[in-house]
Amino acid sequence: MSQLLPFKLGAEVYALELIDVQEIVEHCQLHPIPGVPETVLGAIGFHGRIVPAIDLPLLLGFPAGLRSERMIVLTDEHGPVALVVDQLLRIITLDLVHSVLSQSDSEKDCIRGVLNRSGQMISMLDLAQLRLLLQQICTGNGDRK
Amino acid sequence: MDIEKYRKMFLSEAAEHLQNMAKQLVAVEADPEDGEGINSLFREAHSIKGMAATMGFDATTRLAHHLEDRLAEFRGKGQISSEMIDRLLAGVDLLEGLLEDIAQGEQERDVDLFIHGEQLALIELEPLDSAEEDDACCDLASNRMLIRLLLDESVVAPGPRLLVLLNRVAEFGTVLETTPSEENLLQGEISRTLLVQLETEIPQQEILKRLECYRELSKIEFPAAVLEEETARNKPGRVSATSTVRVDTDLLDRFINLTGELITNRYQLQSAAGEKDWTELNEGLGQLARLVKSLHHQVLQVRMMPLESVTGRLPRTVRDLCRSSGKEVRLEVLGASLEIDRSILEALTDPLTHMIRNAIDHGIAKQGTVQIKAWRERDQILIQVADDGRGIDPEMVRQRALDSNLISPGQAQTMRDFETYQLLCLPGFTTKEQVTETSGRGVGMDVVKSVVEKLGGVLLIDSNLGKGTRVTMKLPLSVAIIRVLLVLCDGSLLGIPITRILQTVEVEPGEVQTSGKQLAISLHGELIPLLSLRKIMQRPKGPGKTMLSLVITEVFGRKVGLVVDRLQGQQEVFVQSLPSPFDQLRGTGGGAILGDGRIMFLFDLQSKLEGRRAKGA
């Protein structure tokens, strides 16, 4: 039985599997990283480590809005990287979830698949694609602007 | 038995034995009657044989056995001939190649040729230490050639770049093999070097010319024709040496003791906090500071390796160079037991070899001494390579730099000698009229300098015409902890390594002069151009100030003044790199969390500017 951490990006609900989440941090001070694209909000001190924080809505093309004070820090396997989202929702367990909709094949939206939870559509965030996106941002830094 | 677990151990131990053998062989050559030397050679070969047999590495076992047999004969005779030393050294090289194969998880290469003596001729034909930048021995194997491409440090996406270059190379002929393989590159393997085995009819010069237009390439080499020999000679042990560390049990005991004390300390702090006993809490914190400092010190100890692990290879290099150049050079190593952080040491292997080559090739005319000296000065390590050869004529260097348009006539006049020697480190500079096979087209000192600077150190060159040359590397004790100057730029906290800074000054805006579009200040009679940190970081202009804070540093060999918002003092920081892929962001070297929780990022002016140049191009 797997657990999901849903969160809002704009009007949509996305979710991560809890197993990919290392910690949820609150009121973390953001320190600017010099010379980074605007999707990288800065860095946080996370248990003595420097972890970059990403503006996930902006990265995925959602409009600017009120960002949550809390950040999701992914496990070391996926970074570590801190994701800033619009709003965090309550954790849900998968057996309450109904049918998985078709796999998304769009490359840009980082969606691994869509769940239908009693009418509520939840997009599963594709971490592999997210990583590719981040990679592009970091290496393409010199080419932008 | 889980072989995998023991493989690394085998590799590092075998590499050690091999290094001893190479060293011992050179020593025995100098004193052929050294019976004890031959004995110890025999023992080393025997150990390798035993270890390889246990691990089931058949070819390695057979070769070690073969060498052991030969050594046994000489043990009987009590002496050894010079030709045999060559053959044994070749055997050691081949063994290193085998270890390399094993490290890569590949099939061991063939040893029968060698054992049956046929390879002897082949190896003798080649110059014994074919230099990396050696372009003389190409085209050996009919129309096959090896090309090694080295990407510049500033290239942001090395993998894809290499793929593009590989396609380019493929147009010249048929690509037989590449390292890393195309497949691995496609899968995102990150590498800055690409070794291509190419079958082609285009001559090497032509290929060089066509590739030279790619500015992202920092080096294009055509290594010697025999792939195995090349890889075996240049990389042995380095791959395996990094994987395991041997730690003194004493040190481990001290770790345990420290951990124990830390646990006690933890409970002390916990109870003090519970009782809100501030005196006790303060005391506990003081103790914690002491324990952490001690732990840090001990951990650094584990990372330390004696300089000898690098210089140990040099007698062999010197010997080979002597043989190929007909010079008589004595190598002296002082301070080989000095301990240095292993990551620094590993980076020094190539620069040291370069420096030795330079000393022998450019410095020493017929016979002389090359001395390597290492010592500590406060929190820096100094390693000096000195020769008693002909020295460098600053006039000639100036002239040469003028001729190749590296400096202007005005610069040439005002340049002082010690600055002049720094010109030797410019890419493409060489003082030698004739390009020789050992130190070729002026690649070398620029590589040395960039390695040293990457480690946060500085390179000094000093010479006395007719008396000799001294090249000194000043290096930090450890890479992880460095001293930085903190500066502010539009709210961002940046750290500039102290070793990069010439001085800091505060000037009034009135002192700033304009020469053309460039702002500059005059310092000790020297006009120094100014750069704005805010502008470089693409931040808005700051408010006008009554005093300008300047950091004087060097970029591309020239002094510049970096205008910063504010200087915030020096500090020792523990640098950590950002997690992947953020470590690839240009101009962001890594960061550190300061005591007050603020995060500082290292700022590397040169790479930042190089990035802008590349973008503009």
Sequential DSSP letters for chain A: --EEEEEEETTEEEEEEGGGEEEEE-SPPPBPPTT--TTEEEEEEETTEEEEEEEHHHHTTPPP-PPPS-EEEEPGGG-S-EEE-SEE---EEGGG-EEEEPPP--SSS-EEEEEEETTEEEEEE-HHHHHHHHHHHHHGGGT--
The residue of chain B with its CA nearest to that of A31 is B599
Nearest to B459 by CA among B558, B384, B371, B387: B384
Whether the CB-CB separation of A65 and A77 falls below 8 Å is answered with no
Chain B nearest C-alpha distance from A29 (Å)? 9
The predicted pLDDT at position B439 comes to 42
Q: What is the pLDDT of residues B93-114, one digit of tens each?
A: 888 888 888 888 788 888 887 7
Whether the CB-CB separation of B456 and B497 falls below 8 Å is answered with yes
Which residue blocks in B394-531 are alpha helix, DSSP H? Answer: 394-403, 409-414, 417-422, 445-454
Phi, psi of A68 (to 5 degrees): -65, 150
Evaluate if residue B302 carries a pLDDT over 60: yes
Mean pLDDT of B131-158: 60
ipTM: 0.83
Distance (Å, rounded) from C-alpha B284 to C-alpha B282? 5
- Which A residues in the span 40-69 are in contact with B, Cβ-Cβ below 8 Å? 40, 43-45, 48-52
The predicted pLDDT at position B396 comes to 82
The predicted pLDDT at position B586 comes to 66
Q: How far is CA B279 from the centre of its chain?
A: 49
The residue with greater pLDDT, B613 or A135, is A135
Mean pLDDT of B545-564: 85
In the predicted model, what is the mean pLDDT of chain B? Answer: 78
Find tokens 């020094």 and name the residue.
Answer: B348
Which residue blocks in B275-313 are alpha helix, DSSP H? Answer: 278-303, 308-311
Q: What is the pLDDT of residues B305-341, one digit of tens each?
A: 888 888 888 888 888 888 888 888 999 999 888 888 8
The residue with greater pLDDT, B131 or B499, is B499
Distance (Å, rounded) from C-alpha B585 to C-alpha B570? 25
Two structure tokens written together for A73: 């820090």
Mean pLDDT of B191-210: 78
Question: Which uninterrupted H or E stretch holds B122?
Answer: helix B119-125
Any idea what DSSP says for residue B230?
A: H
CATH class of A2-138: mainly beta
Q: Which of A54, A129, A141 should be substituted to probe chain B, the one whose Cβ sees the most B Cβ atoms within 10 Å?
A: A141
Interface of B with A (CB under 8 A): 156-157, 489, 491-494, 537-538, 576, 578-582, 584-588, 591-593, 597-599, 601, 603, 608, 611, 614-615
Whether the CB-CB separation of A40 and B582 falls below 8 Å is answered with yes
Evaluate if residue B134 carries a pLDDT over 70: no
Mention every residue, 6+ apart, whose C-beta is less than 8 A from residue B541: B534
Distance (Å, rounded) from C-alpha A72 to C-alpha A15? 11
Nearest to B217 by CA among B170, B183, B166, B177: B166
The structure's pTM equals 0.51
Sign of the Cα pseudo-torsion (B186, B188, B193, B195, in order): negative
Mean pLDDT of A14-38: 88
- Which A residues in the span 62-121 are in contact with B, Cβ-Cβ below 8 Å? 76, 79-81
Distance (Å, rounded) from C-alpha B84 to C-alpha B80? 7
The CB density around residue B123, as the number of other CB atoms within 10 Å, is 18
Confidence class of residue B236 from pLDDT cuts 50, 70 and 90? very low
The predicted pLDDT at position B248 comes to 79
Q: Which of A22, A131, A138, A143 should be substituted to probe chain B, the one whose Cβ sees the most B Cβ atoms within 10 Å?
A: A138
Q: What is the pLDDT of residues B414-467, one digit of tens each?
A: 777 777 787 777 766 665 544 443 344 344 777 788 788 777 777 888 888 888
Q: What is the pLDDT of residues B377-409, one digit of tens each?
A: 766 789 999 999 888 888 888 888 888 777 778
Chain B nearest C-alpha distance from A75 (Å)? 11
